[in-house]
Structure 1
């Protein structure tokens, strides 16, 4: 029997991130493509969840999450993000940041509404936007700085643009938006009454002394911003699927209604695990930053030594690499050639752009043990450029 699929997924395709992972597994390679971090979970987080299981905390929680976790998040938001938040009415725990993002779109936007993405964008953002029947609009930010220009931002808006996504630190570029850039967003959002959705999952992974700035802490952005944050990267628990949305009470109430319908609640004992993690001293977060900066420097130096051009990230744990001079016709061709030659998997930059800019780039994830990174760097030295294409023109 042949049933038709829903129109809402007719134009969605599996990501090439999965393809590169499968190819890497087939070759027995090192996967620096998909964001599969292999760092250990902090003992306090792991033991907090185990203790909750042993104490029988395995049933449904309120849809907005365990009260004590929301209180711990509110303290963290005041301490680290400069946000005064009501834990009872302005925080919603969800199934990962992707779950919080999906609930936000469904609760606050209508099919046909426009939503602006800054390129390079995170692929799950785009596909969730399409799944909700929204109209994505795009504004490419030019490497290597990925600077936001106010004139370009205004020009990218359309009559139906109702929202804008800001990912800081960014996956895939590692871009961190400055106070001046967030002030641009504030001015434009105020004038055009835009909802701002900020993805801040990498907020604790920043480099060279940079401080993360939450968009909601800038000027009047707080009332029109949904801040989406989580624990996957901070505590190396990507499989736990725990994130949260922070918003004005009226917005949070709507988000929680959808969160309840989609997910019922986040996993109960795991909520207690991350609550324990939020009690970590400041030294934990300082060590986390230092550890990832060391890993960033290992991979970026290795890429440069291999004749590639890394675009040094300011935060997150990915690095985009310019391969435009390697002679490959597409980013996917370059990524597959690199995998075949070296056994190291990357991701084509075309997955993060609508236009041709992504064909110049590939992305690596460096959330790996140092020994794995050193082995990957040794393998990358074997990569060889392809002969220039006949009659090719520089772009």
Structure 2
């Protein structure tokens, strides 16, 4: 009875709180967001006229580097769209995130990198910080942060720069044609310069044909260990001693049977993800635990903790990411991580896989995919509960 008498008193307060929460958004309308800031109208117009604004509609967890009208000097390059793609970082970076950048800087992939037209890391922006400023570097230019404009954690952060950034050799890639869906994964990895071992193993095992066959369906997300990751495999792992069919399972363990761009991985609702190996060996087996770790994407196999180090390729329905370690399933390699990896050179062990809280309030998952579905369901469940108590 006391509880039922208490509800009418708190219901209006709770209702008012939920009225203040932003409503769920199914897609990102960058034009609408920037329309509230007239000083960025020219930059906003360029995003619309080149089609970049439409390209961003299905993405989340990104940072837009915008330039105000008085400082905007659009280049005469025939590839203005690629210049603008270079101003879309494929990672959510708030001002506190930027202030935590190490002295060595941080390399962040851009939307230009996803086109396949940027060689090696030329589609990435290097961010450095000193006591006076935060600077964004391209091979051809630098720009300084003026101020943050808008932040919707962990979906979009809009930052103001004092000039446009010009990517390396923007005129060399005149074609606006994107890579076809029939992507040659082996060639893509070899062109990445640091994935030769993985490319050779995929080709020799025959599973590469399975991966490429899945490109046209729900898509694929591949985690590819670097050559250094294979070199760092401890002898106790006995990876090379595995039978050929078991090596093929380990390779399948590195692939998700869905397309996840980097932003979706960072905001993934269910961290336990089945792999292609799960489909062949039964539910609950050969799963990966994926979550946001220290501003990056961490992957935990139960015995190995790795991190995403770079975006190799990202165009729906294929995402390929470089990872720092070979992902060893505990089904084959036991359950004790100490026997497999010990810090070398006195270094610290990998961080625990855990979400990093940020003090910006609830996140609005802007992608239309499943990454934000759980949050929306919880919101509307609470909303209906409040309305029921308020009206009764």
TM-score by length of 2: 0.27
- For normalisation by structure 1, the TM-score amounts to 0.27
Larger Rg: 2
Structure with more strand by fraction? 2
Structure with greater contact order relative to length (CA < 8 Å, sep ≥ 6): 1
Decide which structure has greater helix share: 1
